[in-house]
Chains A and B, each alone.
Chain A
Amino acid sequence: MAKEKKAIIETIPRSMRDAETHYCAGCGHGIVHRLVCEVVDELGIRDKTIAVAPVGCAVLAYDYWDFDVTEAAHGRTPAVATGIKRVRPNNIVFTYQGDGDLAAIGTAEIIHAANRGENITVIFVNNGVYGMTGGQMAPTTLAGQKTATTLSGRNLRREGYPIKILEMLAVLPGVKYLERVSVHSAQDVLRAKRAIKKSFKTQVDNKGFSMIEVLSMCPTYWGLTPIQSVDRIKGEMSNYYPIGVVKSY
Chain B
Amino acid sequence: MAKIKIDKERCKGCYLCIANCPKGLIKISGRINIKGIKPVEFSGGKCTGCGMCAIICPDCGIKVIR
- Give A residues with C-beta under 8 Å from B: 4-5, 7-12, 16, 20-21, 23-31, 34, 183, 185-186, 189-190, 219, 225-227, 230
Q: Which residues of B contact A29 (CB under 8 A)?
A: 58
Tell whether B19 is near chain A: CB-to-CB under 8 Å: yes
* Closest B residue to A12 using CB positions: B60
* A-B Cβ contacts below 8 A, count: 75
Can you give 5 A-B contacts (C-beta < 8 A)?
Answer: A10-B63, A25-B58, A226-B15, A227-B16, A227-B19
Interface residues on B, range: 20 to 34
B59 contacts A30, C-beta separation under 8 Å: yes
B59 contacts A9, C-beta separation under 8 Å: no
- Give B residues with C-beta under 8 Å from A: 2, 10, 12-16, 19-20, 37, 51-66
A11 contacts B58, C-beta separation under 8 Å: no
Partner of B58, one of A31, A190, A225: A31
A247 and B49 alpha carbons, distance in the complex (Å):
35
CB-CB under 8 A for A11 and B16, given A26-B58, A29-B58, A189-B55:
no
